[in-house]
Amino acid sequence: MTGGKAEILVVDDERFNLEILLEHLEEAGDYISTPAEDGVQAWELLEKTPEKFSAVLLDRMMPRMGGMEVLEKIKNHEKMKMLPVIMQTAKASKQDVLKGLEGGAYYYLTKPFEKEALIAILRTAVSDYHTYIDIQAELREGAGTIGLISSGSFSFKTLRDGKNLATLLANACPNPDKVVMGLNELFVNSVEHGNLGITYDDKSALNDDGAWEEEVERRQALPENASKLVKVTIEKNGSKVSFVIKDEGNGFDWNQYLEISPERAFDTHGRGIAMANGMSFSRLEYQGNGNEVIAVIAS
């Protein structure tokens, strides 16, 4: 970030499209944009300064080096593997989107798109990445004797407390940098969708308006939510670590969120559980109506 503004790499081989994207980001006021006219130029910029950008807005179809090849290089680079890639494409078939999701493009825009949709998805991608950066920094600072823990019970109420607890408990696990993001995603889900009753459609609208954090705080202050907690237990047995996370909400239809579906790839959210399932844990198993989840790490 520079001067509090996130730096975005904008990649498109069509000059007209590139200029429109740069104009939209300039008007938004929160971003610094760096243009690239094809995949080769984009990769040269990324490789030169791998920690400079907060997101990549990437065209899929380009000469010399296409978007999928750039995506693969990003996801195979140790310092950039978590960098969010927003794939912009006119190819919106289910098969094309699925291929991108499997490659690590968890954010999608279909050409032509509206400015509001661009800014909403970019805001989410940048926020997710900055959360990852912050958690990784806190994780390194918090490493220590927590690794000796064999079992324990914890509870928390707010998203901030959940983030702190995720950082603490991840240090009790092998590969804590992978585990911490999955734990944090499950904790966020337990607070917002569980205890506070923010639905999928609610969050879509809140993200579009940039009002999600404000609404979380408002609902947290309501009398009916004041005493609600998320309860967490950890149990270690050799190389196996098990977490049980339970909220006080009414549950949800969890089956559809264990994988990122092509139908939801264009939404501003809905990736957290799937990312936790695919990247952080060996097994993720929801119980009953979905207000309790077992997350297992087994080497």
Q: Is 284 helix (H, G, I), strand (E, B) or coil?
A: strand
Q: What was the pLDDT predicted at 238?
A: 82
* 103 contact partners, CB below 8 Å, separation of at least 6: 68, 71, 72, 75
What letter would DSSP give residue 276?
A: I
What rounded mean pLDDT belongs to the chain? 89
**pLDDT tens per residue across span 255-291:** 889 988 777 777 888 888 988 998 899 999 999 899 9
* 223 contact partners, CB below 8 Å, separation of at least 6: none
On the question of pLDDT at 142 being above 70, the answer is no
Q: What was the pLDDT predicted at 94?
A: 72
Q: What was the pLDDT predicted at 266?
A: 79
Q: What was the pLDDT predicted at 202?
A: 93
* Other beta carbons within 10 Å of 68: 20
Q: What was the pLDDT predicted at 34?
A: 96
**pLDDT tens per residue across span 35-65:** 999 999 999 999 999 999 999 999 988 888 9
Rounded distance between C-alpha atoms, residue 282 and residue 278, angstroms: 8
Q: What was the pLDDT predicted at 138?
A: 83
Q: Mean pLDDT throughout 185-207?
A: 94
Q: What was the pLDDT predicted at 286?
A: 96
Q: Is 16 helix (H, G, I), strand (E, B) or coil?
A: helix
Domains present along the chain, CATH in parentheses: 6-127 (3.40.50.2300), 144-298 (3.30.565.10)
**pLDDT tens per residue across span 219-264:** 999 999 999 999 999 999 888 999 999 999 999 989 889 988 777 7
